[in-house]
Structure 1
Amino acid sequence: MAIEMRQQMKMVQQLVMTPQLQQAIKLLQLSRIELQDVVRQELEENPVLDESLEQEEIRDVDQFELQEKEELPPADTGDFKEVAAGEETRTDLDWESYLEGYNYSAGEQYYDDDDERPSYENILTKKGTLFDHLVWQLNLNRFTDRERTIGAEIIGNIDEDGYLRTTASDIALVCQAEEQEVEAVIGRIQDFDPAGVGARDLRECLLLQVRSLNMCGTIVEGILLHHLKDLEQRKYKPIAKALGCDVNDILLSARLIASLDPKPGRIYGQEDIQYISPDIFVYKVGEEYVVTLNEEGLPNLRINPLYAPEPKTEKSEKSEKSEKSEKSEKSEKSEKDNGGAKVDEYLNDKMRSAMWLIKSIHQRQRTIYKTSKSIVKFQREFFDKGIEYLKPLVLRDVAEDIGMHESTISRVTTNKYMQTPQGLFELKYFFNSGISTSDGDFIASESVKNKIKEILENEDPRKPYSDQKLAELLSANQINIARRTVTKYREMLRIGSSSERKRLF
C-alpha cells in the first residue's frame, strides 16, 4: 500500500476549558488567604480593577467629620483677656516638670545626641539561625585557615535538626583534604553548642549529649552503644542481664535518655506558626444555626469609573452613528497609527479579565455558602451535641442537595475551615465513611476514632490495651469493628502500639 498525504475534514465535539473557566476552578479551591494574594496581585496588574469602600464606612467617616466640627470651640474671643505689656504673669509654675511629663508623640522619641540613641543590636528582632550560631563559634575558636575552610563546608551540610547530612569523604573531596583531617574538624565541631550538633545519626547525637554531661563509662552510654534497639522495644530485663545491673538502674537510665533532645538544632528553627483563619462562621441564634462567610481582608472589587463604559441613550446612539458616518478613512488610518486601536484592545482585554474575576469571586462565595448550609443541615446533631453524633456523609449527598457536581464540592471543601460552636474544623472533616452498629444504625469513622482516643487516654500506662482488646471494648459499645480496622485508625491518630505505649516509670 502506497503512503500518501491528503487532507481530511472531520467534525467532533470535545470539551475545551477556556482560560476564564480555568481561573474560576482555581479560585474555587483557593483558601481565603491565598485568594487575598491573588486579588492583590490582580489589583496591581489590572488598571481597570479598583477597590471600593463600603457605603457604611463612607457614611461613618462623614459622621465623624461632622461630630468633629460640632466639637470645635466657638469663634467668639470676647471672653479672652489680653495681657498688657507691663502686667505680671504667674511665676509659680514648674515648667521643667511639665515639659518632662508631656508626651510629644505616642510613637516617636527624640535624642539630642547620637550617644543617647539605643544600639541597633537592642532593637533587632531577627531570630538567629543554627548556621549563624555555628559559624560564630567557628570564628571564635582557634582554627587554621585550612581547618576553618573545612569547618565552613561541614557547617553548610548540617541541616535544621543539627545532623550532618554528608560523609567525611565527600567533604574531603570538595575541600581537597585528607579524610582524617576532616574527621578531626568534625570532632571539634561536635563540641559546639548545642550539644549533639554535627552527629550523623540518632545514636551519635545522644552519645554526644551524654558525654557533654561527663557520663562516659556509665550504664547510659552502654545502653546507647549496644542496646538502643532493645530500649526502643522496652526490653529492660534483657538489657539489665546483658549489662549485669539491676532493672531499676536501667529504668533510671532510660528516663535520662528520654530527657535528651533528638533534634538539637530545632531550638534555632525558623518555622513560623501558621494560624488558621476560618472561611465560614456558624452561630446558633435561638434554635437555628446561621452561616456567615468571613470576608475580612477581601477587598470589595469594582470597575474603575475612569474606564467603565457609559450607559447609552437613544440620543447618544444617533449622534454616534452620525459621527461614524462622517469619519473618513484617513482619520481611521491616523488613529491606528497613533496606537489608539492597541490601547482600546488592551483596555477591553483588561475589562473582560476584571469582570470575570469579580464574577468568579461572587460565584465562589455563593458556592461556599450553599455547601456550608448543606453541611449544617446534614450534621445538625453534631453541632448540637458534639463529635459522638457526627453522621456518615459523602460528597454525593451534598452535591445532590445543592444541585452541583461532586468535583465542585470537592474543590470547595479543599483548604476551607469552619468555626463552629464545637470548635474549628476543616470542611473535609464532615465527610467520612460509616460503620455499622449492633442496632443497625451507622456511625461516622471520625466518631470511632474519637472513641478509640478516649479509651487510650484513660488506660493504665503499665498495662496498655492491645488492638484486640480495643475491638472488644468498642463491641461492648455496640460498634462492630475488626482488629485490623482498629490498628488502622490508631495509626491514623499517630498513637503507638501497646508495647510502645507501655510505661514502667
Structure 2
Amino acid sequence: MRMGYDLIIEQQQKLIMTPELKLALKILQLPAVELEELIQHELEANPVLDLVDDNRDEKPEVQQKQDKEEKEKEKEKEKEIDWKEYLQFQGKSYSMEGFDSDENSEFSYENFITYSYTLKDHLISQLRVSPINEKLRDIGEYIIECLDENGYLTATQEDMSEILSVDMDAVKEALGIIQTFEPFGVGAIDLKECLLIQLKNKDILDETIEVIVKNHLDDIACNRLNNISKKLSISIEEAQNYSDIIKNLEPKPGRAFEGSASTKYVTPDVYIEKIGNEYVVIINDHYGSRLMINQYYKNILNSEDKSSQASAYINNKLSSAMWLIRSLEHRKNTLYNVVKAILEYQMDFFEKGPMYLRTMTLKKIAEMVNVHESTVSRAISGKYVQTTRGIFEIKYFFKSGVDNQDGDAISSESIKKMIKNYVSGEDASKPVSDQHIADYLVKEGYMISRRTVAKYRDELGILSSSKRKRY
C-alpha cells in the first residue's frame, strides 16, 4: 500500500461571518432604544456619518443640482463595494417619515421623565403628620428606609438599635407606630407577623385566628380545613370562614407600589394604525432614515489633490457608514414585512379581540415573508408593537395551541379563556377536575389532554380542584 501526499484543488461555498455581516445581524436584532444608542455611538465614532436636520429649509435650485451630481458620483463609488454578497434590499422604506406630526410629538427623552410615588414616600408622608417627638420621627424614617419593596423589614430591631445608638424600647415604639400605617402589614419581619398586623389593624384578630396564622398556614394553603377543624375543635364552616379571612389578607403589602421605584418604559418599534377600513404598519425609525454621508468628506474624496492616506481613511469610514445605512434599511424592511405578515395572519385578533388569536409559529411567518426562521426570530427579538388594542411584545402573537375537529388550530390563549370561564361557573362545593375540563373541551371539539389542561390552569393561577373546594 503506497502512502503519499497529493495537492487537490476543489471549490467550496462558505459564508464568512465578516464584521460587516455581524453588524447587520446585530442591528436586525436590536430594539428601538438600543438601536438609537448604537447609531449615536456610530455618529460620534465615524466622522463620515451625518444626521439630517428635520427642520432644514428647502434647498435652492443650484444646490439641488449639485446634490444630484454628487449622488451620481456616490453611485459610481458604491459599485466598488459588493453589497449583494451579503444583503439584497427590495422595495421602499416603511417608516414614520412622511407622516404628519405636530411639534408636540417631537421625540425627546425628556417626555419620558416622571416621578413615581413609592411605598417609602407613602409611609414617610404618614410619619410626618404623626403626633410624635423628633427622636421617634428620626427612628421611624430609618426604619422605613430598612423596608424592602414588599414592606418587610430587612434589619432586626437589635441592629437598628445599635446603629442608631438608641435603646430598644424607642425602636419598638417607633416600629409600632409604623405598623399602624397604610398599607396595613408593613414593618413585619415575616409573613406570619405581616398577617397578624393586618388582622389587628382591621380589628378582627381573635385567639383562634391567631393560632391558625401561627401554626396552620400550610393547611390553609392546601385547603386542609378538616385538619384545622379537628385540632382547634371548631366546625368545618368556621374553619372555612377563617380561611376566607386569611386569604383576603395581603401577603405583600407593598405590592401596590411594586416597580414604582424603577419604572420601565416601552418604546414601540412598530405601530399598527387603522386608517379608515385599512390597517397600516409604520416602523419607528427616528434616526435611520435621517443618516447621510457628510458633505465635507465627500468633497475631500472628490478633490484632485487628496493624499492616498486620506483617501484610504475616508474610503474605510465610507464603507462602514454605508454598511450601517444599508443594515438599517434591511432591518426596517425585514421588520415591516414580518409585522405585515403577522397583521394579515392575525387579522381576527385586531378586528375581534384576544379570543380570536390564532396559533402561529416562526416557521409560518418565515414562509409568508420568504426568509429563514432565524431571521424572523431576530427581527422580533425584544421588540414591541403599538396597536389599536394596546402595546404588545411582538412574540405575544406567536402562540402554541391545539387543533379542533376540523383540523384548524386555536391558540393557547383562547383555550385558557375557555378554561377560566368554565371554572368560574362551577359549583364551589364540587369543583371540576382537570379531567372533567379536558372532557368538556373535547366535547366542544378541541383535542386536548388532562395534562395540558393542568398546565394552562397553573399558568392562569387557578388552584387545583382539591384546593378550590369550599365547605
TM over 0.5, shorter chain: yes
Distance in 2 of aligned mates of 1:380 and 1:216: 54
What's the counterpart of residue 26 of structure 2?
Answer: 26
Gaps of 5+ in 1: 1-10, 60-123, 325-331, 333-339
What's the counterpart of residue 465 of structure 1?
Answer: 432
Structure 2 counterpart of 1:206, which letter? Answer: L
What's the counterpart of residue 39 of structure 1?
Answer: 39
Distance in 2 of aligned mates of 1:163 and 1:129: 11
Distance in 2 of aligned mates of 1:208 and 1:454: 35
2:361 paired with 1:394: yes
2:263 paired with 1:272: yes
Distance in 2 of aligned mates of 1:480 and 1:217: 50
2:326 paired with 1:359: yes
What's the counterpart of residue 448 of structure 1?
Answer: 415
Of 478-487 and 344-353, deviating more is 344-353
Indicate conservation of the 8 Å contact 1:215/1:221, yes or no. Answer: no
Taking a change above 3 Å as real, the CA distance of residues 392 and 196 of structure 1, as seen in their structure-2 partners, is closer
Match of residue 414, structure 1, among 381, 387, 390: 381
What's the counterpart of residue 106 of structure 1?
Answer: none
Gaps of 5+ in 2: 1-9, 59-113
Indicate conservation of the 8 Å contact 1:415/1:426, yes or no. Answer: yes
Indicate conservation of the 8 Å contact 1:438/1:479, yes or no. Answer: yes
Indicate conservation of the 8 Å contact 1:418/1:427, yes or no. Answer: yes
Q: Which structure has more RCO (C-alpha within 8 Å, separation ≥ 6)?
A: 2
2:443 paired with 1:476: yes
What's the counterpart of residue 192 of structure 1?
Answer: 178
Alignment of 1:5-20 (within 5 A): 16-20=16-20
Of 476-485 and 263-272, deviating more is 263-272
User: What is the Cα deviation at residue 395 of structure 1?
Assistant: 1.8
Distance in 1 of aligned mates of 2:283 and 2:162: 54
Measured against aligned partners, the alpha-carbon deviations of 1:251-270 in whole angstroms (never above 9, x if no partner) come to 55444434433223345542
Structure 2 counterpart of 1:494, which letter? Answer: G
User: What is the Cα deviation at residue 300 of structure 1?
Assistant: 3.6
Match of residue 292, structure 1, among 274, 281, 293: 281
Aligned-residue RMSD, C-alpha: 4.6
User: What is the Cα deviation at residue 202 of structure 1?
Assistant: 0.9
What's the counterpart of residue 225 of structure 1?
Answer: 214
Match of residue 201, structure 1, among 190, 209, 234: 190
User: What is the Cα deviation at residue 48 of structure 1?
Assistant: 3.7
Indicate conservation of the 8 Å contact 1:52/1:302, yes or no. Answer: yes
Indicate conservation of the 8 Å contact 1:219/1:250, yes or no. Answer: no
User: What is the Cα deviation at residue 476 of structure 1?
Assistant: 1.0
What's the counterpart of residue 51 of structure 2?
Answer: 51
What's the counterpart of residue 149 of structure 2?
Answer: 160
2:255 paired with 1:263: no
May I ask how many residue pairs the two structures share in their alignment? 399
2:453 paired with 1:495: no
Distance in 2 of aligned mates of 1:448 and 1:469: 15
What's the counterpart of residue 228 of structure 2?
Answer: 239
Distance in 2 of aligned mates of 1:276 and 1:495: 32
Structure 2 counterpart of 1:23, which letter? Answer: L
Indicate conservation of the 8 Å contact 2:266/2:384, yes or no. Answer: no
Distance in 2 of aligned mates of 1:237 and 1:23: 64
Indicate conservation of the 8 Å contact 1:278/1:418, yes or no. Answer: yes
TM-score by length of structure 2 reads 0.67
Q: Which structure: larger Rg?
A: 1
User: What is the Cα deviation at residue 486 of structure 1?
Assistant: 0.5
